[in-house]
Structure 1
Amino acid sequence: MSNPTEMKPPVAAIRHTETTLHGTTLVDDYAWLREKDNPEVIAYLEAENAWTAADLAPTAELQKTLYQEMVSHIKETDVSVPFRDGSWWYYSRTEQGAQYPIYCRKAALTDDLDRFPGDAAQEETVLDINELAKGEPYMAVSALTVSDDGHLLAYAVDNKGFRQYTLQVKDLRTGALLSERVERVGSVLWAADNATLCYTVEDEVQKRQFQFFRHTLGRPHSEDVLVFEEKDERFNLGAGRTRDGIYTILESSSHTTTENWFLRSDDPAGKWQLIEPRRDDFEYYVDHRHGLFYIRANDTGRNFRLVTTPVETPSKAYWREVLPHREDSMLEEIDLFASFFVACERTLGLQHLRILPFSGQDGTLGTVQEIAFPEPAYSAHPHINRNFDTHKFRYGYQSLVTPSSVFEYDVATGESTLLKQIEVPGGFDRSHYHSERLFATASDGTQVPVSLVYRSDRFEHGKNPLYIYGYGSYGYSLPNNFSSSRLSLLDRGFVMAFAHIRGGGDLGKKWHDAGRLMEKRNTFTDFIAVTEHLVASGYGDAKRIAMEGGSAGGLLMGAVCNLRPDLYRAVLSHVPFVDVMNTMLDASLPLTVPEYEEWGNPNEPEAFRYMLSYSPYDNVEAKAYPAMLVKTSLHDSQVMYWEPAKYIAKLRTLKTDNHTLLFHTNMTAGHSGASGRYDYLEEIAMDYAFLLRELHVEG
């Protein structure tokens, strides 16, 4: 490995281009880096990788130590909680040294939905992802769907990371692959006849799921029937079956609008019926019970309500309210069963699971039950619940200090039973760690939730290295999840904070609205306010602050670096959306047109000027910046590799400091980085070694 002192960082060639729009000229000296097939582009990316490797070479032993720590904290050979689906119990296994899970099942020996056969039944391998991954640099599997009779498995694979999946069908009785094979699939589902397979496909440019097909098993795909095609470029198609299995729902959705059709699952060639036509900013989501559709809709308020309507008259004129809209609580999801439903709500950023039993066939409700959670900051959500006619509800729970757990709630008794908590070996003791939840005051007075975790015996007021993570886009609520790899930082004294900033969904739809379109800058100033509040409150050393974000969170990193580079010592930025203007002006790229509803349409003068005011690439200046490690993947289809490549190239020419600036491209992966679990830990070890070095924390 070359000594970094004997090397110079790569310098990308400047090839001046200009674009004038709305009276403003955009200068782009690195647009040529978009030429993925250009050997000069690949050479530049490889040179940046070599520079990063040389710079981090002195941390090689530290990276190895961190990796070994992380591996020591995972139970490498493990089994998930089995769940019953039809006549089978399904689960997944991991084996020591294997990168991917193995999906398995056992035949149910009784009609008792709760009695797992254990060793009494022979295990069958449904799909071994390790076998699929042999000889492949990347492997992702989606749409694992078993036919109602349990004989056939439909699944889709992506061996590149570009989110381009190929559908295949496996006969679980023989293990043989059938002739069925379809490229670019998204949603996949079986009809109730076990012979009809429905699927969506994406277009070849924008990667938008725009067509829905019906296929008869064994027939040529040239005979597949095009059921529906979505013409509006803002919308994507998706399909699934109601929990009771009776109906198939076809949904077309944008970021702010939905439209749904339904068809009996035992009549796949029948006529689809519209539930309610689309109109802008109107979303609704559908399930079915006993002749009624249960619809979660935002027609009377941004935070949604729940209504029912007869299948025979599904339109809005016949809707009857079950749960009203609440200004202070977001109705995020409804889990519907024969004898009860679960209202999954979020209030002041925290999730609540309310159980509402039915007292009659007509949908009359009994006494409301609520599952209690013991910690100040946590994540709770429905787990796998395939059975419609049951009195038990499985849910997942975890926190920043409590490992991922699966519980089963008995509606009849009101009691929760722990089925499994992920084991964390390697000396983990939950009592050593402390979690808090507090609020920081934003510049306009808004109270922004913050979740914190640190090791109690390593905390010193105002002296700890401080790490802050943020996202704040698409209405996505930042979860308070447990991470065993995070222990490597906590055990070295880090205070880790998670900022639930505007643009996310942590406080409902209005929280999202307050950080998108012409309010997007609130996302960035909220993050800065959180940082200042944590330092003022003694949660960290003002000279040792790191921040991390990825994708839209990478936009956050870039914008905050431009606004307040003095606040941070180090930045981790993953697949960052930093070239906002050029990307959003190119309607041929995946995601661009649908994302007008999130960022704005720059072809409109006011939106253009506002987006230009915060676009990280366009606002890099000649000034000092924090140390940065920016990472991307060559086959990313969501944030193209050239965005961070251009950003780094521009920073190298303009920044006035001598702080570390590293750029690493995974040449064989996509948006989520490495697909194998051990490879992924190696990537985290690199990140953490960078942070420890830049914040002067002993390894």
Structure 2
Amino acid sequence: MIKKTLPGLLLLSVALSCTNKAQKMEPYKWPNATPPVAEVKPHIRTIHGDTVVDNYYWMIDYFKKGKDSTEVVDYLSAENKYLDTMMSGTKQLQADLFKELKGRIKEKDESVPVFKNGYFYYTRSEEGKQYYKYCRKKGSLEAKEEILLDVDQLAEGLPYYSATGFAISPDNKMLAFGVDKVSRRQYVIHVKNLETGEVFKDAIPNTQGDATWAADNKTIFYTAKNPETLLSEKIKKHLLNTDAKLDETVYEEKDKSNYIGVGKSKSGKYIFIYSQATLSNEMRILDADKPNEAFKVFQPRIKEVLYDVIPLDDKFLILTNWEAKNFRLMECPLDKPGRENWKEVIPHRKDVLLEGVDEFKTHIVVTERKNGLTALEVRPLKGTAYHIAFEEPTYMAQVGANPDYQSNKLRYIYSSLTTPTSTFDYNTDTKTQQLMKQQEVVGGYDKTDYVSERLYAKAKDGTKVPISLVYKKGLNKDGNAPLLLYAYGSYGASMDATFNSSRLSLLDRGFVYAIAHIRGGQEMGRQWYEDGKLMKKKNTFTDFIDCGQYLIDQKFTSKGHLYAQGGSAGGLLMGAVINMAPDMWHGIIAQVPFVDVINTMLDESIPLTTNEFDEWGNPKQKAAYDYMKSYSPYENIEKKAYPNMLVTTGLHDSQVQYFEPAKWVAKLRATKTDKNVLLLKTDMDFGHGGASGRFDYLKDIALNYSFLFALEGINK
């Protein structure tokens, strides 16, 4: 099932857009191929007096290691072969698109260095290489480079390789990092001696990939996973050069609806354990220089109260929604963390969502969201607060990597639908800023060739839903332009308007690209999220449909040229809207879609199920079951015409298991009355996020674009 995916990666391979004077051809002639027919093996589900026959439940067997495992793989392979046949006429186009997409990426590149504890850290990539090198320089950017980790070398010969969670010991001598070679987000933590180059033998398996160093340079805290459900269950303590099997559990989570993790404050003074469900959380705290002492609860869990702790030199700041739906900022003494000692610093505001706080020695930076757009406020600990201004109609602004607690510079990231991702350093003393780097679009890019807008569609209940869109200048708004509408709409994840160089391949061929900021996200405040979850989840779907209709009414497109795309929870959105308004869309791209809601939420052995009860509900409760059943895409397939569809999944997906989209496609094939194209692609080597290399994922984007172009009759 889903889960907090991330939407940054999803947006990268999901965000597509458009242009004006498209090259047209005769409509693509789909081969006369016969699609696979999945075997019917009735499975009975009875709950709350309701009996449902599931003909494709057997597809879970590869995951469950059941008797039909081989048959499942054979079926997925047959679907892949069918897709290859149906898309065979686009193979050259796909190859050309891959070359075009890859050609915009600067192959030899380097990140903007960040300073921490005497060193500048950065990553760099080399021409033709899929991965990167993690590097540092001591004291000055003119110093000799140290390559801490050569991921290109480590990933050599492997179909998938992910390195994450880089953590340098306080004495700068060791590097801890997590490795996943299967794409199931089960990381093995390794430790490398940066003085000798030796990678220690005491690898720590089945972790979240995180590693938090104590001040003694030999103790590591990390998050251990359940090997079956993949739930983050325990925080453990590891001593270097000892057997990981002997690691002590310092915290065990008993509530299966909670995510847990461990991390360190920016100042390095404190280590925190957090345990969080959707609606409430609890944090534990430990002095980093006392790793053998017990963690202490900062504030015991309170029903429907979330809080985060930001340590300063002389007090704790607490970001919380306690009696404050859109959150407020509190403070308390270092020795009196309980809620009874909290005093208000920034009050609750009905029209402003307080999203985050970043601490520095002399100031804090507050991330706010108003009218769906982000603002960054600098608040000196002694002085007057002020905002950093942004002027485009729709954009993304966020605090970047700022690991140096002593710094007077704020690193922040800015992007929009027309502005490539830009990294700024803002001097909080002089109130001046410097552009450190802007994403280079190889081959040239002129933002003035494109137009971005922010519009508002009226939902059926009168709510105004923001839409961000971009298109090539000169667009003729006569309803004939193809338009791709994207949304996510879950977990309170806000989908900001960001630049994507791949999207130019759509814009330059006449597409309009639009993001619907629907309820279930958090763009318009915490209430926006609450109005799109649990027993109000259908608002997410109707908002999207209403946005599509608005764009048709405004002559940006028409039903014969309107396309939709979403992934993970956004894939659930795709499944719901084709059941509710099947004739509105000419084509749908559903990536790793969470479409079998009830069956997944009933099975607590499936990874992450129990973490999600506060998001979707627990179908073991009748009211939740009935409501889920009224929208779950798999449950609501009917004998009617559906749009053209491309569905993608990964055999090793730990977030939305492969069998959900596979079952969904099989049932659609057996039920739908139209002759429209229905394609399923399963990545047999990857999981939820797709390929791990810098360029491999572009093959998936080329396939997606070719599918859209085939439907539009665009040949190049």
Indicate the TM-score class for this superposition, using the shorter chain for normalisation: over 0.9
Superposition pairs for residues 376-455 of structure 1, below 5 Å? 376-455=393-472
Determine the C-alpha separation between the residues in 2 that align with 1:384 and 1:435: 28
Which of 97, 103, 108 pairs up with 1:77? 108
2:512 alignment partner, one of 495, 509, 525: 495
Runs (4+) of structure 1 exceeding 3 A deviation are: 3-7, 458-461
1:625 aligns with 2:642: yes
- 1:5 is displaced (CA, Å) by 3.9
Cross-structure match for 2:90: 59
Structure 2 match to 1:574: 591
Paired with 1:223 and 1:51, the residues of 2 have a C-alpha distance of 50
Unaligned runs of 5+ in 2: 1-28
**Amino acid across the alignment from 1:145:** A
> Does the CA contact (< 8 Å) of 2:33 and 2:86 recur in 1?
no
Report the more deviating stretch, 625-634 or 414-423.
414-423
Query: Is 2:559–2:583's contact at 8 Å kept on the other side of the alignment?
Result: no
- Equivalent of 1:469 in 473, 480, 486: 486
CA distance change for structure 1 residues 5 and 494 in 2, over 3 Å: closer, same or farther?
closer
| Alignment-derived partner of residue 47 in structure 2 | 21
Aligned residue number for residue 143 of structure 1:
165
The corresponding residue for 1:363 is: none
Counterpart of 1:42 in structure 2: which amino acid? V
What RMSD over aligned residues (CA atoms) do the two structures have, in Å? 1.2
1-side partners of 2:287 and 2:77: how far apart? 53
Comparing 236-245 and 643-652, the one that deviates more = 236-245
Q: Return closer, same or farther for 1:501/1:657 CA change in 2, 3 Å cut-off.
A: same
Question: Post-superposition shift, 1:695?
Answer: 2.4
Indicate the larger mover: 656-665 or 536-545. Answer: 536-545
Indicate yes or no: 2:666 matched with 1:643.
no
Preserved contact between residue 167 and residue 211 of structure 2 (Cα < 8 Å): yes
Which residue pairs with 1:111 in the alignment? none
Q: CA deviation at 1:320?
A: 1.1
The equivalent residue for 2:187 is: 165
Equivalent residue for 1:608?
A: 625
Q: Cα distance, 1:569 vs. partner? A: 0.3
Which of 664, 680, 694 in structure 2 is aligned with 1:677? 694
Distance, in Å, in 2 between the alignment partners of 1:460 and 1:234 is 48
Q: What SS does structure 1 have at the residue aligned with 2:340?
A: helix
1:6 Cα deviation from its structure 2 partner:
5.6
In the aligned structure 1, how far is the partner of 2:705 from the partner of 2:218?
50
Distance in 2 (alpha carbons) for counterparts of 1:344 and 1:26: 47
Contact preservation (8 Å) 1:397, 1:406: yes
Identity %: 44
2:285 corresponds in structure 1 to: 262
Shift of 1:25: 1.2
TM-score (norm 2): 0.94
Classify 1:529/1:6 alpha carbon distance in 2 versus 1 (closer, same or farther; 3 Å).
closer
In structure 1, the partner of 2:327 is: 304
CA contact (8 A) 2:31 2:85 kept: no
Cα distance in 2 between the residues matched to 1:634 and 1:223: 33
Match among 237, 244, 247 for residue 260 of structure 2: 237
Unpaired stretches in structure 1, ≥5 consecutive residues: 109-116, 360-365
Per the TM alignment, residue 280 of structure 1 is displaced from its structure 2 partner at its CA by: 2.1
Q: CA deviation at 1:369?
A: 1.2
Q: 1:585 matched to which residue of 2?
A: 602
Residues 150 and 492 (structure 1), Cα distance of their counterparts in 2 relative to 1, 3 Å cut: same
Q: CA deviation at 1:224?
A: 2.1
Which segment drifts farther, 615-624 or 283-292?
283-292
Once residues 362 and 226 of structure 2 are traced to their aligned partners in structure 1, the CA distance between those partners, rounded to angstroms, is: 41
**Whole-angstrom distance in 2 between the partners of 1:313 and 1:675:** 45
Equivalent position to 2:307, from 269, 278, 284: 284
Once residues 203 and 634 of structure 2 are traced to their aligned partners in structure 1, the CA distance between those partners, rounded to angstroms, is 41
TM-score by length of 1: 0.96
1:320 aligns with 2:351: no
In 2, Cα distance between equivalents of 1:263 and 1:618: 48
Residue among 551, 554, 557 paired with 1:540: 557
Shift of 1:461: 3.2
Counterpart residue number, 1:156: 178
1:690 counterpart SS class: helix
Matched residue pairs, number?
682
Equivalent in the alignment of 1:188? 211
Distance 1:654 1:694 in 2: 22
1:44 and 2:75 aligned: yes
Query: Structure 2 counterpart of 1:54, which letter?
Result: T
Q: Which amino acid aligns with 1:126?
A: L
Counterpart-to-counterpart distance in 1, 2:640 and 2:602: 28
The answer to whether the aligner puts 1:659 opposite 2:676 as a matched pair is yes
What's the CA shift for 1:679? 0.8
Amino acid at match of 2:179: V
State how far apart, in whole Å, the 2-side matches of 1:280 and 1:140 are.
37
**Distance in 2, Cα, partners of 1:526 & 1:49:** 33
* CA distance in structure 1 between the aligned counterparts of 2:555 and 2:30, rounded to whole angstroms: 36
| Matched-pair contact (CA < 8 Å) for 1:579–1:616 | yes
What's the CA shift string for 1:584-635, capped at 9, x where partnerless? 1111111111111000111111111000000000100111000000000000
Instruction: Specify the code of the residue in structure 1 equivalent to 2:337.
Output: P
Structure 2 match to 1:362: none
Q: C-alpha displacement at 1:467, in angstroms?
A: 0.6
CA offset at residue 457 of structure 1? 2.8
Query: 1:271-303, CA deviations, whole angstroms, 9 ceiling, x for partnerless residues?
Result: 322111012211101121113111101101121
Q: Which segment drifts farther, 217-226 or 7-16?
A: 217-226
When residues 222 and 11 of structure 1 are mapped into structure 2, their CA distance, relative to the original with a 3 A threshold, is closer
Rounded to whole Å, the distance in 2 between the matches of 1:220 and 1:678 is 38
* CA distance in 2: counterparts of 1:179 and 1:280, whole angstroms: 43
Shift, 1:636, TM fit:
0.2
For residues 437-474 of structure 1, the C-alpha deviation after alignment (integer angstroms, 9 at most, x for no partner) is 11100000000010001111344432210110011000
**1:698 Cα deviation from its structure 2 partner:** 4.1
Counterpart in the other structure of 1:330: 353
Structure 2 distance, partners of 1:290, 1:80, is 31
- Provide the C-alpha distance between the structure 2 equivalents of 1:614 and 1:538, rounded to a whole number of angstroms: 29
Residue type matched to 1:545 in 2? L
